[in-house]
Every structure is written in C-alpha cells, then in structure tokens.
Amino acid sequence: MMHTLKIEPRLFSLKGFFWLCLFELLHSNSGSLSQELTVVVQAGDEARLPCRYQITSGTLKSYYIYWQKYNFDKQDLVVISYKNGEEVELEKDKSYKNRSKLEEQNLTLSIASVTVNDSGLYKCFAILETRLKGETSTRLSVIVPFSTPIILNNLSGEHCDSKNLTLMCLSHGGSSEPKMYGSINENPVNWTVTSNEIFGHFNITGTLQLNMTENILIQCSVHYLDFQVSSNYSLNMTKNCSEPTMPPLIPPFGIIISSGVILIFFLAMVMLVILQCYFHKRPTSSTTHQSLATDEMILEQSRRQTRSRLERSPL
C-alpha cells in the first residue's frame, strides 16, 4: 500500500507534464506573440513596425488584417485595416490619413513623417474566418534629433606662430540624453561636457583647450541612443611667416596741405613782384596829365607873345 502511494504521484506528475507541453505547443501554433518589440526613430523619418505574423494558409484576401494604436482610456486608434485584400479607408483614424501603409508581403506597417505624438504601443491583428490567428505588439518611440553641432574658437583668421586655443562645440534640442565625442586630426580627444534639460529637451556644450602649432581639423559628434550628428571645422596656420613688407610711405595729408599753401603763397609773391616792376616802368596817369597841361600853357604863352608883337609892329 505504501509502495502504491509512492508510484501514483509520479504517474500523475508525468501526465501533467505531458498536458502542459501539449498546451504550450498549441499556444505557440496559434500565432500569438506576447513579446513586445521596440522601434526607435527620429522625428520626421519613416517608422516601420513589423507584424511578425506570416500568412500560412490562404491569401491576404482571406484575412482581416488591421493595426491599431493603444489610446489609453479612449478607444484605440485604427492605423490601417485590410479586408478582402483591400484597404478600408473609412476605418482609418484621420491622424494617419495619407501617412500609413501596409506591406502585403509581411504585413509590416509604415508610418511616414512621424512626430512625437506617434509614440506609443501598436498592435497587429490577423483574423481568419472570425478566428484570431495572430496578435503582435510593437512599441514605437519617436525622439527629437539634436541640431548639427556648431564649433567655435577664440581666434580669427590665420596664424603664423603657436596659439593657445579654446574650442567650443554646441548642440541642442534633442529629447534624449546625449554624449559628446571628438577628434583633432583624427586623434581622439575628450571634450569637457556640460548638459542641461529644459522642458524635456537637452542642450549640450563641450569645451577643449590646446596649443595650436599646425593646421588642425576638429571633429565634434553628439551621440544619443543609436543616432548621432557631427560636424567638422578646420583652422590653418599661415604658410608664409616672413616679416611683413612695409607699404610705400605716403606723406600725411596735413603735410600735403601745408606744402600746397606754401607753393601758392610763393607764386603770389612772385606775381606781386612782377606787377610792381611793371608799374614802376610805366608813367602814371597823373604825371602824364601834368606834362600835357604844361605843354598847353607854354603854347598859349607863345601865342600871346606873337600876338603882342604883331600889334606893336607898324603897318
């Protein structure tokens, strides 16, 4: 009796294990996958969500296929649906109009120009003759990309001698925590990084100090999740380091004016001397008038003397 009691539990445990294995086998063949996938894309890109269910019997025309998005306490949103092998536009939510499409070969959902509002849990359903044949879940995470880094320096133009250089690399706007990497002439460097978050968006700034002795190519990249943005910046040393040539000496403007005034004064003096000499050689009008008056008086006196002589002489 004791021996029998010990054997029966073993028989029952073997039967239970058998039925458990059969249940798991049947459940796995039903096409329902509870494992959730995560797809991460940047805002503005196209998101591709795999359904992970393959049509094994019949064709797409035999199935009712639809994707929907979980909408919290409200009714789930229909992203796309297919009946009898054709898309049913009336069932699609207006926020996905002209943006969602289904790849008929593998039931992958494509959403164009995604935004942060498209983030969430999406489910794919495959129904054959009112029976659910497959259900898969995919979580879409839409992140905002960082801006292209801007590299700044404390110098301007080209330089001949070595300089203590301070570089800054700035990027902003991303929705996930960033990291910064860089290189100088393809040699890795470590930026001194500071970052802050404002209303869910990150700003990142890196600084780097070095002694510039040659032409350099600076590379700065910002990494976030599986994405990155980068930019390059070059600084050149002056090739010809000889002494600068002096420009031809040009007299100051004041000296030119002074010289011109002196020349004009000299010419004026010369003109005055010439005029003075001219007027000294030519008799003045007063002297001329005086000589003419004297001549008339002498002539008149001569006339009077002749007249008196005539009067005195006898006829």
Tell me, yes or no, if the two domains 37-143 and 147-235 fold the same way: yes
Mean pLDDT of the chain, nearest integer: 80
For 233-281, how does the pLDDT look when each residue is reduced to its tens digit (9 = 90+)?
998 877 665 555 656 656 666 677 777 778 887 888 888 888 777 777 6
State which fold the 147-235 domain adopts. Answer: Immunoglobulin-like (2.60.40)
Alpha helices, H only, the chain = 2-29, 253-281, 285-312
Q: 110-113 long-range contacts, Cβ below 8 Å, gap at least 24?
A: 110/46, 110/47, 110/48, 110/49, 111/46, 111/47, 111/49, 111/79, 111/140, 112/46, 113/44, 113/45, 113/46
Domain boundaries, the chain: 37-143, 147-235
Look-up of token digits 């000299």? 266
Q: Are the CB atoms for 77 and 69 separated by under 8 Å?
A: yes
**Residue 156 scores a pLDDT above 70:** no
Least confident range from 68-82, 150-164, 239-253: namely 239-253
Token representation of residue 91: 């069932």
For 100-150, how does the pLDDT look when each residue is reduced to its tens digit (9 = 90+)?
999 988 999 999 999 999 999 999 999 988 899 999 999 999 999 999 999
State which fold the 37-143 domain adopts. Answer: Immunoglobulin-like (2.60.40)
Q: Which region holds residue 58: left if phi is over 0, alpha if psi is between -120 and 50, else beta?
A: left
Look-up of token digits 């008799």? 283
Helix (H, G, I), strand (E, B) or coil at 243: coil
DSSP state of 62: G
